[in-house]
Structure 1
Amino acid sequence: MPDHTSRQFDQELESVRGRVLEMGGLVEAQIRDAIDGLATANRELLTKVINSDHRVNSLEVMVDEECQHIIARRQPAAGDMRMVFTVIKTITDLERIGDEAVKIARMSSNLFDANRVQVPRFNEIKHAAEVAISMLRKALDAFARLDAVQAASVVKDDVQLDEEYHSVLRQLITYMMEDPRTISSSLEIITIIKSIERIGDHAKNMSEYVVFMVKGKDIRHLSLADVERAAMSTDE
């Protein structure tokens, strides 16, 4: 491949990588605004989350089209093909994270529309959301720096988030049993905490793609110990 063509190819890959990080920043802001809107009963913030969904969707379509053009024009091989594959898979998970943030915003609006201002287990929900946001950030940072070890750490964080999700779920079930008047609000909170757990799942998926991109190893469905070994391995 001539040098100028190679440089153009590198620029195209860098462009789509930048778009992925831009999209990641947007969905992180959506999550934060949704949780802040829930905490403060800020309807404008919740509406902002819902209205920003089209920007995330547009970016997904744009990056997907760019990747398809790269495949058609450049016919990338080996590591470059893994990069393009990772981008395509990652933007799908980012779009779904955005959908979960919108769901949180809609459920929060429902709570306030029904004047159910008291949000049970909010501190636990906020902490779970911070864990999910941290996982997203780490996955994006690992993608940007091609860091398989950091990507593998996100898989470990997902175990913690799952435990927090099940803990809040048990608490809310007890809450509903003790006071049936809280059933409606508790069910909406369960939807919110489930969306947070799903955000963590998508961040975990993204981290798995990074390990595949860097190491050429498919770590889906492996034990945590095997994931960490694959990330630290020197053979590709």
Structure 2
Amino acid sequence: MLNQLGAEMFNLCATQLENSIEAFHTLDKDLAEKVVHMEYRVNAFDLKIDRDCEQFLALHKPVASDLRFVLALRKINFDLERIGDCASGISKYTLELNMLPEKDLIKSLRLDEMFSYTLSMLEDIKEAYTDEDSQQAHKVFKKEQVLNEINNNSISLICKMVRKKVELIDQFLLLFTVIKKLEKVGDLATNIAQEIIFYRDAEVLKHQKEKSWV
């Protein structure tokens, strides 16, 4: 039962992120509104999973892999809810747009790459969770490095762009905010991958530098 609830939470948050990205790309404000309004469902799932985990711990006193699963699921659920928040945040910014940002800006800031990588990372961890495959979870670490690189370069790029086209400063600031949201999704996906590895392999990666990251 808990496993199935976790899978549903993965699907819900993945759909939220996909829809928020599509709404941004197409300036589909109806879809953006849908993402924002669906946040209540994400929050409801978050509360249910948390309560059910607490109840399972209290009634069944699990040990070994069962205990690791419940502990991991609580943290995974928390991070998925925050991914849902990021998706909602991107959609709220989409609702503020009067026109699509210039394509050259999106290309220069590698925003489409960030969209692709975040969706790919979410698919990796969803598959890792569903298939109980820690090797699949490991795939996200190198992808997070790409997101960090794009994010780190975005500040200097935006500063240069503002000097050239100060009239587009509102677009620059909005795009920078979206970049930060996507970078956060990457961080959260990495956290989830670490929890899946903890559950499956009894290996704690937090505060450690994984060899496969470099």
| Higher normalized contact order (CA 8 Å, seq sep 6+, divided by chain length) | 2
Alpha-carbon distance in 2 for matches of 1:205, 1:77: 23
Identity of aligned residues (%): 25
Instruction: Point out 4+ residue stretches in structure 1 off by more than 6 angstroms.
Output: none
Query: Which of 185, 194, 201 is the matching residue for 1:208?
Result: 194
Q: 1:202 to 1:106 in 2, by over 3 A?
A: same
Runs (5+) with no aligned partner, structure 2: none
Please tell me whether the aligned partners of residues 120 and 172 of structure 1 are also in contact (alpha carbons under 8 angstroms): no
Residue 157 (str. 1) matches residue 132 (str. 2): no
Query: Which of 89, 104, 108 is the matching residue for 1:103?
Result: 89
SS in 2 for 1:219: coil
Count of residues in Structure 1 that have an aligned counterpart in Structure 2 = 212
- Equivalent in the alignment of 2:105: 121
Query: Which of 22, 25, 35 is the matching residue for 2:11?
Result: 25
Please tell me whether the aligned partners of residues 101 and 171 of structure 2 are also in contact (alpha carbons under 8 angstroms): no
Alpha-carbon distance in 2 for matches of 1:227, 1:127: 19
How far 1:159 sits from its partner (Å)? 0.8
Please tell me whether the aligned partners of residues 23 and 31 of structure 2 are also in contact (alpha carbons under 8 angstroms): yes
Runs (5+) with no aligned partner, structure 1: 1-14, 229-236
How far 1:25 sits from its partner (Å)? 1.1
Q: What are the within-5 Å matches in structure 2 for residues 140-155 of structure 1?
A: 140-155=126-141
SS in 2 for 1:121: helix
Alpha-carbon distance in 2 for matches of 1:109, 1:118: 17
- Equivalent in the alignment of 1:85: 71
Q: 1:121 to 1:25 in 2, by over 3 A?
A: farther
SS in 1 for 2:139: helix
SS in 2 for 1:76: coil
Q: CA RMSD in A?
A: 1.8
Please tell me whether the aligned partners of residues 97 and 199 of structure 1 are also in contact (alpha carbons under 8 angstroms): yes
| Aligned partner letter, 1:175 | M
Alpha-carbon distance in 2 for matches of 1:36, 1:139: 21
SS in 1 for 2:9: helix
Residue 172 (str. 1) matches residue 186 (str. 2): no
Please tell me whether the aligned partners of residues 158 and 200 of structure 1 are also in contact (alpha carbons under 8 angstroms): yes
TM-score normalized with structure 2 length: 0.92
How far 1:86 sits from its partner (Å)? 0.8
- Equivalent in the alignment of 2:38: 52
How far 1:176 sits from its partner (Å)? 1.0
How far 1:81 sits from its partner (Å)? 0.4
TM-score normalized with structure 1 length: 0.84
How far 1:158 sits from its partner (Å)? 0.7
Alpha-carbon distance in 2 for matches of 1:164, 1:226: 20
